[in-house]
A = this chain, B = another copy of it.
């Protein structure tokens, strides 16, 4: 697995151990991880703390010029909120671990010129499928269904 996606996966696994939704993300600037995050909606009781949002938070306040050189790695297709944040920050590249279990805003990202790569990693697909099967209510809450 790509090393940055592996780092996002590791965040997802930490989330799972904490009793959270196993989605992890890392923000990469010039080959270096500057923000790591995982979905902590359950852990922090926050509806906005998806993995991507947590990674953006961890990276802190950045100049626009830094965002423009970043790549966001996330284990699952980003929902509309995380898609919107990525468009706000104008991050030009997003690498998605899988979008078999959920398809978020990847088309909207592409429409705005973001380069989107979907890896569909078997390990990530299996992890998320198992979580959704075992926790349908928690998962549905995550996507407000």
Chain B residues within an 8 Å CB radius of A48:
48, 53, 56-57, 85
Closest to A82 in B: B84
Closest to A66 in B: B144
- State the copy count for this chain: 2
Chain B residues within an 8 Å CB radius of A1:
none
A residues 65-91 in Cβ contact with B at 8 Å? 67, 79-85, 87-90
Interface of A is mostly: helix
Evaluate contact between A144 and B90: CB separation under 8 angstroms.
Answer: yes
Evaluate contact between A144 and B81: CB separation under 8 angstroms.
Answer: no
A145 touches B (CB below 8 Å)? yes
Task: Pick from B83, B84, B105, B144: contact of A64, CB below 8 A.
Answer: B144
